[in-house]
Amino acid sequence: MSNIVLITGASSGMGRASANYLSTKGFIVYAATRDVENFKDIENKNIIPIELDLRNQKSIKKAVEFIKQRHNKIDVLVNNAGYGLVSTVEDVEENEMYEQFNINVFGILRLCKEVIPIMREQKSGIIINISSFLGKIGLPLLTLYNSSKYAVEGITDSLRYELKDFNIRVHSVMPGFFDTKFARENLVTNKKTFDKDSLYSHLVSNLAPIIVEQINNGNSADEVANMILEIIQNPKFPARATVGDKAKKFIPMKKELSDEDFERRVMEYYNI
């Protein structure tokens, strides 16, 4: 019997790469997206597009119930969907703050809330949260995104305790910058912060182009897909793992240095 996988944000980037890769390994992948038209080019019978809006509990419940009715199980949940808000704290709007957490954090909690009972009843399951190396380090202009990914790390840590008695594993993957559509489609900018007369214009002009360039010239999303398969296949896989050059550079450095020394290194590296 094939393993059943549900992946959010599966229409592009790491989600799409993971759906494609797992489908070639015999998994049945439910590729969740707000618009199933994103999969009109898919002919792989192991990839099943499913409409799911992380902002809406009814939409989540409907999608999860559909999978349960067809298979009576969900073996793996990959919480991949997310986006990045680029804004200073001074300029950020209330709706921007809420939406950043609504997708990146509350969406994960809503989906876990629906999937955990299925995994608990079947006495097995794997939850993989696609976080970011920015869930362990801060960067200016990305405070809201950073803090949302810090929250994902907290969810991962707590759920590991909460679900261990039900044989449900919980893991976090912390990618660095990857060559996906993230910089082109999944970065949302605050108008005030990016106004030419902004008090933060010097910071924006220095940092924003570097970040975009590093994302567009980052690692291949296939590396994340490979790690997801490793996690599924290895019951003793670590609680979290880094993938990509920037993550492998900064996360170990953060552990080795004092907060002050690490901050100096980051400022020097990004010229801020």
Higher pLDDT, 203 or 218: 203
The yes-or-no verdict on residue 184 having pLDDT over 90 is no
Give catalytic status of residue 236 as yes or no: no
Give catalytic status of residue 12 as yes or no: no
- Single out the catalytic residue among 21, 145, 150, 200: 145
- What six digits make up the tokens of 127? 């939850």
Distance CA 18, CA 14 (A): 6
Give catalytic status of residue 11 as yes or no: yes
Domain limits for position 246? 4-270
| Lowest model confidence (mean pLDDT) among 72-76, 101-105, 194-198, 211-215 | 211-215
Domain total for the chain? 1
- Single out the catalytic residue among 136, 149, 172, 246: 149
| Lowest model confidence (mean pLDDT) among 103-112, 232-241, 246-255 | 246-255
User: 3-state DSSP call for residue 103?
Assistant: helix
Tell me the pTM.
0.94
Distance CA 265, CA 263 (A): 5
Q: Which of 95, 97, 115 is nearest to 54 (CA)?
A: 115
What is the four-CA torsion angle of 217, 220, 223, 226, rounded to 10 degrees? Answer: 170
Distance CA 205, CA 196 (A): 9
According to the model, what pLDDT value does residue 181 have?
57
In the structure, what pLDDT confidence band is assigned to residue 220 with cuts at 50, 70 and 90? Answer: confident
Higher pLDDT, 36 or 151: 151
- 1-59, pLDDT tens digit by residue? 679 999 999 998 999 999 999 999 999 999 999 988 888 777 789 999 999 999 999 99
According to the model, what pLDDT value does residue 75 have?
98
Q: Measured in whole angstroms, how far is the alpha carbon of residue 36 from the centre of its chain?
A: 20
In the structure, what pLDDT confidence band is assigned to residue 185 with cuts at 50, 70 and 90? Answer: low
Distance CA 91, CA 93 (A): 6
Give catalytic status of residue 21 as yes or no: no
- 82-132, pLDDT tens digit by residue? 999 999 999 999 999 999 999 999 999 999 999 999 999 999 999 999 999
- Single out the catalytic residue among 18, 23, 87, 131: 131
DSSP string, 140-153: TTBHHHHHHHHHHH
Distances (CA, A) of 178 to 1, 104, 123: 33, 18, 35
The yes-or-no verdict on residue 272 having pLDDT over 70 is yes
Average pLDDT, the chain: 93
Q: Which of 272, 263, 5, 36 is nearest to 119 (CA)?
A: 5
CATH assignment of the domain containing 113: 3.40.50.720
- 153-174, pLDDT tens digit by residue? 999 999 999 999 999 999 999 9
Q: Residue for token digits 């296949």?
A: 233
Q: Which of 68, 66, 72 is nearest to 50 (CA)?
A: 66
